[in-house]
Amino acid sequence: MSDIPETHPRRASLLSRQKLVDAQAKGMLANSALIAHGRGEAFDYLLGEKTTSGARNAAQEVLARMSNAKNPVISVNGNTVALAIEQLLLLADKIGCPIEVNIYYRTPERMNALLNHIEEVRSHLGIDVLILGSNPDGEIPNLDGPRAKCCSAGILNADAILVPLEDGDRCEALINMGKEVFVVDLNPLSRTARMATICIVDEISRAVSVMLEMDCSAVKVNPDFDATSSRDAVLDEMLDALKRNQTEA
Ligand code: PTJ
């Protein structure tokens, strides 16, 4: 894959696919991970694989709220670790919060593979971020099965949670716990995107890179931030892309 020319128009997309293939081989991913990624790619295609101004505004608001929270936490799953763990570790370091591994299709083997990989990247970066998930001592109320397991030092007692590529049920359960739930989802129509306190409609590694470029002390919480309009703005860009193509056809 390293032989993809720098100028290849879909280079970033091909490199992301390879990251997932590599993570799959290491046992980090759910069986359906590549299907989930494919759905995301279809929406990203409509965005021209670029961060829109609407997504940038949402990312800024999320950074402000995570930086202002008492107990913020970043929750990661298989796809998120495969695609963006380096950036997410740097973001956790910047905000000063832990990262918790919390996966939908939970097995001890996958948890180990993910925790070991994150620890390897953390130590390579030389930063001091607390990695949680190995010893869950709490449960998200009103959620069935192992996906409810979580840590009291992380998700259970967090007031703000950044949880990219979340599923609708868990997002709803976290909202019902009274938390601010920030998601990253390329599908602006998903239940998760509609249910979250704020959804950044963007590709996960781009969304986090955008937050890394921002200065935490310069971003201020906007209590009137309109999450629906923010999501609609990105949806409009996708619809415009479809219409443009119709006109040109
Ligand atoms: O690691 P696990 O066990 O927690 O499982 C992770 C997956 C992603 C397999 C699981 O959560 C799942 O099945 O997710 P869904 O319900 O398919 O939802 C995934 C959402 O993420 C979809 O709405 C996609 O559009 C979106 N998505 C996929 N890839 C990206 C993305 N959003 C942002 N960036 C991406 N790279």
Q: What is the set of domains in the chain, with CATH numbers?
A: 53-247 (3.40.50.12640)
* CA-to-CA separations, 186 to 45, 71, 193, in angstroms, rounded: 10, 26, 9
> Residue 52's Cα: distance from chain center in Å?
16
* CA-to-CA separations, 35 to 20, 32, 39, 158, 242, in angstroms, rounded: 11, 5, 6, 30, 23
Residue nearest to atom 16 of ligand 1 (CA): 167
Exposure string for 224-240, b = 16+ CB within 10 A, e = fewer: ebebeebbebbbebbee
Rounded distance from Cα 217 to ligand 1 centre (Å): 31
pLDDT of residue 249: 45
Q: How far apart are CA 149 and CA 140, in angstroms?
A: 7
Residue 204 near ligand 1, beta carbon < 6 Å: yes
pLDDT of residue 56: 97
Q: How far apart are CA 77 and CA 23, in angstroms?
A: 12
Mean pLDDT by 10 residues, the chain (249 residues): 78 93 97 97 94 96 98 98 98 98 94 98 98 96 91 97 94 97 97 97 98 93 97 95 74
pLDDT of residue 93: 98
Q: Which residues are CB-contacts of 10 (< 8 A; sequence separation ≥ 6)?
A: 49
pLDDT of residue 248: 57
Residue nearest to atom 27 of ligand 1 (CA): 40
Residue 45 near ligand 1, beta carbon < 6 Å: no
pLDDT of residue 2: 62
Beta-bridged to residue 198, according to DSSP, are 182
pLDDT of residue 145: 86
Residue 186 near ligand 1, beta carbon < 6 Å: yes
Report, in this order, helix, strand and coil percent for the chain, each rounded to 5.
Answer: 55, 10, 35
What crossing angle do the helices spanning 78-95 and 33-46 adopt, rounded to 10°? 70
**Terminal alpha carbon distance of the chain:** 33
Number of the ligand 1 atom closest to the C-alpha atom of 187: 25
